[in-house]
Structure 1
């Protein structure tokens, strides 16, 4: 669905025009410095997205010494919306309220009731933009996390569909190998026996034809079984039997900022290649689910006796929402490593990230 929100520059121009209109309507015979402060405060709003704190500082004199309302409020709203630290907009609101209230003792003929009302107005005027800015920021973060959750679920659905397809193909391959191939082999054997014992030429020729067709069918069946066990088909994005050649495509489709470094020998076994691929796949899936906003570093390495891969991710920049999962991903990787007489290591890093490392023998 197309967003109906206007472009950012249109919103900025509207805020500047509104602030200028506020300054013009609130104007009365003032000093030249008051006019200069109003112009600076209104013009500074053009740069509020790039330098929100600087714009706030430029609007502060106008908030303290003039009757401008819109420009300081917009500056406070921008700081609250763009600042990741919630203490910053709170401090800015307090500074604004104190600066505006400083002039109260110098106002002539102001009763105590009027001072209380004016003070309450100043506090509300400084707090409202901050609260609204934080609300908009929370809404944007929630919308972004909903998108991330949907992407993660879609990614898991694809992986689950690929796993189911791989199991089904493997089962079909076993059935074809154990049942169909066995029956066709018996047909070929019986046809060969009939060729030897046939009493006439026509029968021998028919038996020879049956035997030839049976042998051809067996070759086709072996080819189909090999295909079923080796690939999930062209319709899947990630094949059930991947190799190191598919590692770059996996990294590019992960949706994470990943640095891939190192290389492995070209003569390593297919089982080791699949173990390395599945380890990287599971680690990137966990980063996406449990460390939103984190980056990952993948290093391939090998020595004279061992080879492996390590995946290290930085701490998350946002709080992670609970996502569905089996919780057996690392357990399955450890079992796969044990089958290869290798080892899987995992744990937290010193900076709060996470590291997964697979080590397998080169032989």
Structure 2
């Protein structure tokens, strides 16, 4: 496509020059003189007609007056009309063209013309001036209409985008209301019931579990409040940042999961990870443990964090075996949105994620994330 456009530009540049040269050679043949020189100069300067249309037009007038060439002055006058604004400029160019076309060389031959020949010459001159001016004005008007249409389409596209943003903002506000009214209420009740259980029971193990539930509920409410603020878009970027999960929080999350987990962290302590990568890694382990609890209760889970590729890639692997015989999943089947969200998180930080069943009827979630 670029090569084709370049050929078209070169053709538009060279073709007028060639027409002017052929015109000068046909008019003068082998008669080398001022007329031939003026005609050749008029043809050659057409190469710069787009950059300096007025100067090129003035340079072609001697060729019209001395050499009786037509193509170069007509093309130059058309270029002035199609690229330059201002009626006075076009009027001056038209008058100069008419004078150079009407007055013969030498000027003494003008007195020898009869009135009829003079009238015909005036009519011919007017036609010669009007045609390139009209075509040039038409081309410029068309270009302005095309530019106006493009601007109108761009304005409509911006208007559609603004409308879509307004609709999205309204939808985010609705989702924020639903999340706050439903989820926050339910999580608050869970936290309250867990606190009551912790105070009323005498079983130390039950108290520990109730304390864990209350802490998880409080943390969930903090994250929920942050997400509601983001969805509403009312904080102006000044709201307190939400909890930032880090890799060192993975071990605590595993301890609170209530699953039989074998955890191995092979990442050196001095490894620096970006915030997005740490968040994606934490959420990957969190979602994988949630799925293991949902679909394979009482199954043993293996969690591995390691570096690969000379320390440039973080590997996250969560593998669970089949559910223990007789165990019934505590939750219904999900919609698969969790794994989709994990793949989107990995893609956002430049990584990949794989989720598939294993040969022993278990499940594997494996992610590769760039360290930088």
TM-score normalised by structure 2 residue count:
0.53
Does the C-alpha gap of structure 1 residues 9 and 86 become closer, same or farther in structure 2, counting only changes over 3 Å? farther
Q: Check if 1:165 corresponds to 2:151.
A: no
- 1:91 Cα deviation from its structure 2 partner: 1.6
Residue 179 of structure 2, aligned match among 176, 181, 184: 176
Q: Is the 8 A contact 1:77 1:129 kept in 2?
A: yes
Give the Cα–Cα distance (whole angstroms) in 2 for the partners of residues 113 and 29 of structure 1: 33
Q: Aligned with 1:49: secondary structure?
A: coil
The unaligned stretches of length 5 or more in structure 1 are: 232-239, 244-363
Does the C-alpha gap of structure 1 residues 77 and 195 become closer, same or farther in structure 2, counting only changes over 3 Å? same
Q: Check if 1:43 corresponds to 2:44.
A: yes
Q: Aligned with 1:39: secondary structure?
A: helix
Matches within 5 A, 1:76-155: 76-103=77-104, 106=109, 110-155=113-158
- Tell me the C-alpha RMSD between the 2 structures: 3.5
Give the Cα–Cα distance (whole angstroms) in 1 for the partners of residues 200 and 29 of structure 2: 122
Give the Cα–Cα distance (whole angstroms) in 1 for the partners of residues 160 and 207 of structure 2: 56
- Kindly name which structure, 1 or 2, has the bigger radius of gyration based on alpha carbons: 2
- Number of residues of Structure 1 aligned to a counterpart in Structure 2: 235
The answer for the alignment partner of 1:15 in structure 2 is: 16
Q: Aligned with 1:130: secondary structure?
A: helix
Q: Is the 8 A contact 2:103 2:110 kept in 1?
A: no
Matches within 5 A, 1:259-278: none
The answer for the alignment partner of 1:56 in structure 2 is: 57
Does the C-alpha gap of structure 1 residues 48 and 223 become closer, same or farther in structure 2, counting only changes over 3 Å? closer
TM-score normalised by structure 1 residue count:
0.54
Q: Is the 8 A contact 2:34 2:66 kept in 1?
A: no
Give the Cα–Cα distance (whole angstroms) in 2 for the partners of residues 187 and 31 of structure 1: 104
Q: Is the 8 A contact 2:20 2:40 kept in 1?
A: no
The unaligned stretches of length 5 or more in structure 2 are: 239-372
Q: Check if 1:68 corresponds to 2:69.
A: yes
Q: Is the 8 A contact 1:80 1:86 kept in 2?
A: no
The answer for the alignment partner of 1:221 in structure 2 is: 224
Q: Aligned with 1:26: secondary structure?
A: helix
Q: Is the 8 A contact 1:20 1:42 kept in 2?
A: yes
- 1:142 Cα deviation from its structure 2 partner: 2.6
- 1:119 Cα deviation from its structure 2 partner: 1.8
Give the Cα–Cα distance (whole angstroms) in 2 for the partners of residues 227 and 126 of structure 1: 67
Q: Aligned with 1:84: secondary structure?
A: coil
Q: Is the 8 A contact 1:65 1:100 kept in 2?
A: no
